[in-house]
Amino acid sequence: MTTLSPVSVRDGTVPCLAPVSTPAILIRRTEYGDADLIVTFFALRLGKLSLMAKSAKKSARRFAGVLELFTELDIVAGAGRRGGLALLQEAALRNPYPAIRRDPFKTAYASYWAELVNDWMEEGIENAEVFLLLRHVLAALDTGSLTPAALSILFQMRLLRISGHCPHLGRCVICRCDIEGILADMLAVEIARGGVACPGCLPPEAGRHRLSKGTVKQLLWVAGGDLTRAGRMKFSPRALREGQAFLERFVPYHLGRVPRSLKVLHQLRGNDV
Ligand SMILES: [Zn+2]
């Protein structure tokens, strides 16, 4: 594997003079003609990056079957070509995460996270924190060291913060009072305003989506700080239930659509939302 100089990429292609070598996670693959694949990575050094993998479909030897979704690879991205995608020159396996692809639930969660990264991250903007977050949740999903639901809360809260879409959970979205100082345990969720409201502004009636203050605290805790520490959070069963329901409504609302992979996840869980 060649090691080459870093470049800054900001316009959707790779306008560098030399190829770039970087760890990268495969988040999307699309067939292109009879022989080729277009592969989208989230790379440590280049951020989101779409490349043409020539003959990847036709020749089993070309990339030795390593271009599977959610695998972590060492790639060499070629120099950008005028009017076209840069070429994937080399790809060597780092972590195949095989247990994810064997399990439909794990595949659905990984697909959801990959779809959010693909939708929310701009092409060519380096963001090591997103790369390390995606690697962290995929590795834990693969080994089963944490439940998919807990990993998904960790992933969504941190990606929302990094991408500037973090829900407002520390203060009432209407009167701005500090949630910490409220006596009541339940808070009404006001998705359109991006967070929770105090009982004085919006009564947390049955039937309305609600979050307990305990869940709010756990969500805020995992959104920031050190990833390894946040990843050790033991969510209470209630926080898992409430947090998952809240985030899987909050994310589509602010994305402007329901991610296709989230619909699949809901179908698998039997809650066809
Ligand atoms: Zn209020």
CA of 217 to the centre of ligand 1 (A): 17
Please state, rounded to an integer, the average pLDDT across all residues of the chain.
89
**Residues 179 and 216: beta-carbon distance below 8 Å:** yes
Read off the pLDDT band of 160 (50, 70, 90): very high
Question: Tell me, what's the pLDDT at 205?
Answer: 82
Instruction: Average the pLDDT over 150-176 and give the result.
Output: 95
Q: Is the pLDDT of residue 2 over 50?
A: no
In a 13 Å sphere around the CA of 99, the CA atoms on its Cβ side amount to 9
Helix (H) or strand (E) holding 28: strand 20-32
Rounded to the nearest whole angstrom, what is the distance from the C-alpha of residue 46 to the centroid of ligand 1? 42
For ligand 1, the distance from its centroid to the CA atom of residue 6, given in whole angstroms, is 48
Q: pLDDT at position 58, please?
A: 79
pLDDT digits (tens, 9 = 90+) for 247-268: 999 999 988 999 999 999 999 9
Q: How confident is the model at residue 14 (pLDDT cuts 50, 70, 90)?
A: very low
Å from CA of 240 to ligand 1 middle: 25
CA of residue 198 to ligand 1 center, whole Å? 4
Cα 209 to middle of ligand 1, angstroms = 16
Distance from the alpha carbon of residue 174 to the mean position of ligand 1, in angstroms: 5
The whole model's pTM is what? Answer: 0.89
State residue 17's pLDDT score. Answer: 57
- Among residues 149, 101, 155, which one has the least CA distance to residue 269? 149
- 157 Cα to the center of ligand 1, angstroms: 23
Q: Is the domain 20-145 a CATH 2.40.50.140 member?
A: yes
Q: Does the pLDDT at position 15 exceed 60?
A: no
For ligand 1, the distance from its centroid to the CA atom of residue 249, given in whole angstroms, is 21
What pLDDT does 83 receive? 66
Count of beta carbons in the 10 Å neighbourhood of residue 84: 9
| Contact residues for 266 (Cβ-Cβ < 8 A; gap 6+) | 248, 272, 273
Q: What is the distance in A from the centroid of ligand 1 to the CA of 171? A: 8
Q: What is the mean pLDDT of residues 65-90?
A: 88
Mean pLDDT of 40-53: 95
Buried b (16+ CB within 10 A) or exposed e, 136-147: bbbebbbeeebe
Q: What's the 52 CA to ligand 1 centre distance in angstroms?
A: 51
The mean pLDDT value for 171-175 works out to 95
Residue 196 has pLDDT above 50, yes or no: yes
Centre of ligand 1 to C-alpha 222, Å, is 24
Q: How far is the CA of 200 from the centre of ligand 1 (A)?
A: 6
| pLDDT of 76 over the 70 cut | yes
Q: Please tell me the distance between residue 203's alpha carbon and the centre of ligand 1 in angstroms.
A: 10
The pLDDT value given to residue 194 = 93
Per-residue model confidence (pLDDT) at position 208:
79
Provide the residue ranges of all domains of the chain, joining segments of one domain with +.
Answer: 20-145, 161-269
Q: Average pLDDT for residues 93-113, to the nearest whole number?
A: 96
Residue 61 has pLDDT above 80, yes or no: no
Question: For 100-117, what is the mean pLDDT?
Answer: 97
**Range in 141-150, 207-216, 239-248 the model is least confident about:** 207-216
pLDDT at residue 37 tops 80: yes
CA distance 97 to 103: 11
* CA 187–ligand 1 middle distance (angstroms): 10
> Residue 8: is it exposed, middle or buried by C-beta count within 10 angstroms (0-12/13-18/19+)?
exposed
Given a cut of 70, is residue 112 above it in pLDDT?
yes
Q: What is the pLDDT of residue 273?
A: 47
Tell me how far the alpha carbon of residue 106 lies from the centroid of ligand 1, in angstroms: 39
pLDDT of residue 63: 85
- Averaged pLDDT for residues 172-189: 93
CA of 245 to the centre of ligand 1 (A): 22
pLDDT on residue 7 = 44
